[in-house]
Structure 1
Amino acid sequence: MDHSAMPKAFAGRQGWYLATLSSLSANLRGNTNSTIPTAELLYSYNHVIQGFSASLTLAQLEALKNSRGYVSSLRDKTVKLDTTYSFKFLGLSSDAGLWPASGFGKDVIIGLIDTGVWPESESFNDDGMNDVPLRWKGKCESGTQFNSSLCNKKLIGARSFNKGLIANNPSITISMNSPRDTAGHGTHTSSTAAGTYVGDASYFGYAQGIARGMAPGARVAMYKALWDEGSYTTDVIAAIDQAINDGVDVLSLSFGLDELELYEDPIAIATFAAIEKNIFVSTSAGNEGPALETLHNGTPWVLTVAAGTMDRSFGASLSLGTDGYVRGAALYPGNFSSIQYPIVFMDKCDETKALKKLVGMIIVCQDPGKEDSLNDQFSSIQVAGNVAGVFITNSTLLDIFTQSPFPAIFLEQKDGDIVVDYIKTNKNPKASIEFKTTFLGSKPSPTVTSYTSRGPSYSAPSVLKPDIMAPGESILAAWPLNIG
């Protein structure tokens, strides 16, 4: 809306917006003698745009276009969410250099537009932190399973925004109507950015050590606008608007919109307003790689970050009797026996009846590399109830398998050949598996992850994006206790 067109009789913008919307419904009822729902004001924005969000019928929208001060309008859109050692890999030292010189982000206020936060996590402990900066104007909101007293000197703000979600789905039931995180993403990203020091941290024994965020001295303000039930730009830009008003120094956005021109992208427009207020805006590149032109945060004025690997990997060691061992990828969280089991090579592992006769054995499978072949093999071993599976594969898309509760290890072809040769040259081959192993020094590193989105962007193809790459693969950070 053009604020210069606001009649002087109105003391503020919101009153003008409300009067404009009220007149739309009244005029349409008078002209048609039909029942017209009242146009509902959802948000009145103070920073991100000169305007508001409202729930309108098509007739009301057309009438609004003829109202005094109207400039343009955009239809609400759904938003796409993107999902202990990294500081050493980046060459940062706790004792000297850039990291301590920055005070580890001391008193920087990081605002995250995300899925919420799990405030009980040790990553948000405020031990040793001084008082909240006086410039902070935000607050902690209470709601379902979330009390304002859960905030502290580390987690200094928590709000939620869902008027747009409800307007788009009037009969919806929101399972957790509060800033509490039920997806895990917001807790993970916020602790990665600013989590405090947490000793004896690990993922079921993997990556053991002291976990911390990249700015452990910083404050966290969570703005929940991404919900299990859906996410809309109306709520996102309301959250950005509030974060600007609250006084954040940094905005972190791990989501985006696809294939929109900059002038049609509400998030691009909102982040420009944040930049004008000297707020640093960091965004994710997206998770639609490896294809080109999949980037959804190509906005020139924000930092767009691609996900990269580190030289740390998680896996297991497969000991081959007394003939040595090989290492492979694994993330099995359970406790696995260290005894030696008979091990047998079943090639394609496509004979279910034969596999079921080998229940007490470790099964080795050779992935033929066809579509879904590895998935079929993995499922067959699980159904057969074998002790464990060893899969020889060239696939790099292993996350869905390594995170399974079934004990499995994935080998590169050269290591797989060693295992197969051992089995074929021994009369009674046996093996044992040691899970919960963390390997350092993996080469090459860093590399671009296969899933991170590539440029150029649809909105600004002439601008080279992403801007930088940062560790984004297998990062240890906080997670809600009620999510597996």
Structure 2
Amino acid sequence: MEEEKVILSKWTAFFFLVVAASLHVVSSAGELSTYIVQMDLSAMPRAFGGHRSWYASALSAATSASAAENLVYVYEHAIHGFSARLSDAQLRELKRFPGFVSCRRDVLLRPDTTHTFEFLRLNQAGGLWPAARYGEDVIIGVVDSGIWPESESFRDDGMGAVPARWRGACEEGTAFNSACNKKLIGARFFNKGFLAENPNATILVNSPRDTDGHGTHTSSTAAGNYAEGASFFGYAAGTSRGVAPRARLAVYKVLWERGAFASDIIAGVDSAIADGVDVISLSLGLDDVPLYDDPVAIATFAAVEKGVFVATSAGNRGPFLGLLHNGAPWLLTVGASTVDRVFSGTVALGNGAVIAGTSLYPWSTSPLRRLPLVSMGACKESSLLNQIRDKIVVCQANGTLDSVIERVTAAGVAGGLFISASAFIEYNLHFSLPATIVSPEEGQAVLAYINSSPNPTANFRFQKTSLGTTPAPAVPPYTSRGPGLSCHGVLKPDLVAPGSLVLASWPENVFATVVSSRALFSPFNILSGSSMACPHAAGVAALLKAVHPQWSPAAIRSAMMTTADPLDNTLEPIKDLAEKSKPATPLAMGSGQINPTRAMDPGLVYDAGPADYVNLLCAMNHTEEQIFTITRSRGVNCSDSSPDLNYPSFIAFFKHAETTNSVRKFKRTVTNVADGGWTYRSRVTSVKGFAIRVSPEVLVFKEKDEMQRFELTVEARVGMKPQQVLHGALTWEDDDGKHTVRSPIVATTFIPHAPRKNGP
């Protein structure tokens, strides 16, 4: 698996190596490997008292030993089966056991605030927040790296009794003794899969306590309580709160130092289903695998089947097409977007000019006072940098910023001013020396001053936060683009949510940044990635669940997608920063930026259920065993299979050499979820070179919950170029102007490569 870029503080890995690693791996597991085994419960003989004894019998028969010696987990809800340590020979024996369905080797998955809720137009005066009572009593399960329970974000001030339907527990462990309350109502940890692969590992913090930071950050983003005085060393100062501040939290720690093993993730989701969560937030993913080999897709199918809404991250492998993960059609797949906020580090030049740059350097003013300013071109020569340690260095970073910043930092210079047009700067703002990044235009002013002055000088000032910047949102380069490899007939991602430079809670034992080799700690941190976007969407789903408890996961997803904003705060199309700020396509932003308040009253929804997903799996030519692996159901009837899932978006694939007049047709059903009768008329934003037709063009609903069907036809009038992506939209508008139900349309010649199989 290609390792996904993890958008955490760039010092997190250093922390584990130098300060206090929570895990220390000593040796490998030898000839045994961990396998996730699925069984057909219908094949269990009646003589067995239950599935656990049957699994034990299968394992003992294959290993000629006590089942307990090899067993890792028994699963009850997410899948029917278990995980165990097996040799190749034992695996062959197990495959002969009656009722064996499939197995796959355990794999490692990696993880992909004060203002974002305002940017999403959530406010106390009206709209979704007060209507949902801020998510009161909806339970969000966060499957991640655990939690720092002492954070202000997890206080239970103002919260009532824990819902009686809650079946979870607060598991004790290292430095975690009954730390739950009315906000944090459940905490569990799962590392048997990790330990099975690393049997000599020592886990120093064997509990739900977070020693990474990722889980604390995502949990507080989704459902953190009000925390006054929040900031990251003065940046983003204000009152922090999650999207659903009155929702309950249950955490399932599956992410350890090296990542999260599939067997542990399945166990976490299995427990979340059993405990009774309403929403799952999962900022983890596995790349390049088919649905029947994807632990996230398999485990979450069972969750959605039980009515649990699941939000997942799209990944951080952008900007290239087709590298998105978590593309299963029963999931909400969330990409990242920017917000209208900038963190500044300004440079005051000796001539009085002030240049604004971008920085998260943590001190308000540096000790530099009118230090010499020197230009070093591209700053490629470390030997020259080592000679100017008492100066501020100006570097023109024509390529990647990472290597330039590393050389300048290693040289120990007094400060750095980096001139760059890179759109990837979120990765580089946690400077360990006084530094800022400026645009090429601002950089020219700095260079002109240096060239015109015999003794150029400058100093810095930091900790400035600017709000209301334009244009925003935009799609950052790092967020993964569709189509998804595992199910490219469904347009993904579904939407984007704030993911760049998000402030949220942070463990106080994990340092937030490093300055001059000194670790600095903070109860809040600013991170970027689709990992940060996912809990925003999970929080919105919790709010919608509170307002519409009867809605299915698909209905909630549809409401979020069809009401998303395709325009930024300048009322122009959302831009793609990886494409020189050209309009983003739906393969980058899905339906657009999530709009919580509009999602509360979408007018129409595109609903779907497990049977619809099964019909799609049949149409994708999955075998009976592959479908069983996902659905845990035998006897699937594929006679009515259709690739036309009732999804609130459309993607039509064409071959670049295909002749004109080629046609793709889509059938959809929409349900009126507004009170009373409504009449909707279709409006199409055309796709260049295509004829888009809708039949019928008018939908009349006489009452709530009534359904109407329509057909969308996409006809090519011109040939398409290789790898081309064209897009438009279908919008249903009611005659009263209250509801606008928008679905993106994509026509493309880009075909993702076939996913690899993860098997023994």
- On whether the aligned pair clears a TM of 0.5, the verdict is yes
The CA deviation at 1:357 is: 5.5
Match for residue 153 of structure 2? 123
Q: Map 1:79-228 onto structure 2 (within 5 A).
A: 79-82=109-112, 84-148=114-178, 150-228=179-257
Match for residue 410 of structure 1? 437
Aligned pair 1:257/2:293, yes or no?
no
Match for residue 235 of structure 1? 264
Could you tell me how far apart the structure 2 residues matched to 1:39 and 1:422 are?
72
For the Cα contact (< 8 Å) 1:312–1:442, is it kept in 2?
yes
Closer, same or farther: CA 218–172 of 1 in aligned 2, 3 Å? same
Match for residue 436 of structure 1? 463
The CA deviation at 1:315 is: 1.5
Aligned pair 1:268/2:297, yes or no?
yes
Q: 1:299 aligns with which of 328, 344, 347?
A: 328
Match for residue 279 of structure 1? 308
Deviations, residues 217-266 of structure 1 (Å, cap 9, x unaligned): 01110101111144211111111111101000000111111222212223
Deviation larger for 354-363 or 164-173: 354-363
Deviations, residues 260-312 of structure 1 (Å, cap 9, x unaligned): 22122232121111001110000000111111111111010000000111111
Q: Map 1:289-328 onto structure 2 (within 5 A).
A: 289-321=318-350, 323-328=352-357
Closer, same or farther: CA 4–429 of 1 in aligned 2, 3 Å? closer
The CA deviation at 1:37 is: 9.2
Q: 2:489 aligns with which of 462, 468, 472?
A: 462
Deviation larger for 192-201 or 311-320: 311-320
Closer, same or farther: CA 68–329 of 1 in aligned 2, 3 Å? same
Match for residue 33 of structure 1? none
Q: 1:7 aligns with which of 31, 42, 45?
A: 45
Q: How large is the RMSD of aligned CA atoms in angstroms?
A: 2.1
* SS across alignment from 1:477: strand
Closer, same or farther: CA 8–333 of 1 in aligned 2, 3 Å? same
The CA deviation at 1:416 is: 0.8
Q: Which amino acid aligns with 1:446?
A: P
Q: Which amino acid aligns with 1:254?
A: S
Could you tell me how far apart the structure 2 residues matched to 1:219 and 1:463 are?
32
Q: Which amino acid aligns with 1:456?
A: P
Could you tell me how far apart the structure 2 residues matched to 1:452 and 1:357 are?
39
The CA deviation at 1:171 is: 2.0
Aligned pair 1:362/2:389, yes or no?
no
Match for residue 738 of structure 2? none
Match for residue 57 of structure 1? 87
The CA deviation at 1:91 is: 1.6
For the Cα contact (< 8 Å) 1:292–1:456, is it kept in 2?
yes
Q: TM-score, normalised by structure 2?
A: 0.59
Structure with the bigger RCO (C-alpha within 8 Å, sep 6+) is 1
Q: Which one has the bigger strand percentage?
A: 2
Match for residue 58 of structure 2? 20
The CA deviation at 1:351 is: 5.5
The CA deviation at 1:427 is: 4.4
For the Cα contact (< 8 Å) 1:350–1:377, is it kept in 2?
yes
Deviations, residues 357-383 of structure 1 (Å, cap 9, x unaligned): 65443332223x14x5x4454345434
For the Cα contact (< 8 Å) 1:174–1:229, is it kept in 2?
no
Q: 1:348 aligns with which of 352, 366, 378?
A: 378
Could you tell me how far apart the structure 2 residues matched to 1:304 and 1:312 are?
24
Closer, same or farther: CA 354–254 of 1 in aligned 2, 3 Å? closer
For the Cα contact (< 8 Å) 2:70–2:86, is it kept in 1?
yes
The CA deviation at 1:322 is: 5.3
Aligned pair 1:445/2:493, yes or no?
no
Q: Map 1:379-394 onto structure 2 (within 5 A).
A: 379-394=406-421
* SS across alignment from 1:186: helix
Q: Structure 1 unaligned segments of length 5 or more: list them.
A: 30-35
Could you tell me how far apart the structure 2 residues matched to 1:453 and 1:111 are?
24
For the Cα contact (< 8 Å) 1:288–1:294, is it kept in 2?
yes
Could you tell me how far apart the structure 1 residues matched to 2:139 and 2:484 are?
29
Q: Which amino acid aligns with 2:285?
A: G
The CA deviation at 1:188 is: 0.5
Could you tell me how far apart the structure 2 residues matched to 1:258 and 1:384 are?
37
Q: Which amino acid aligns with 2:41?
A: H
Deviation larger for 259-268 or 405-414: 259-268
Could you tell me how far apart the structure 1 residues matched to 2:350 and 2:97 are?
82
The CA deviation at 1:74 is: 2.1
* SS across alignment from 2:104: coil
Q: Which amino acid aligns with 1:233?
A: A
Q: TM-score, normalised by structure 1?
A: 0.92
Percent identical across equivalent pairs?
A: 52
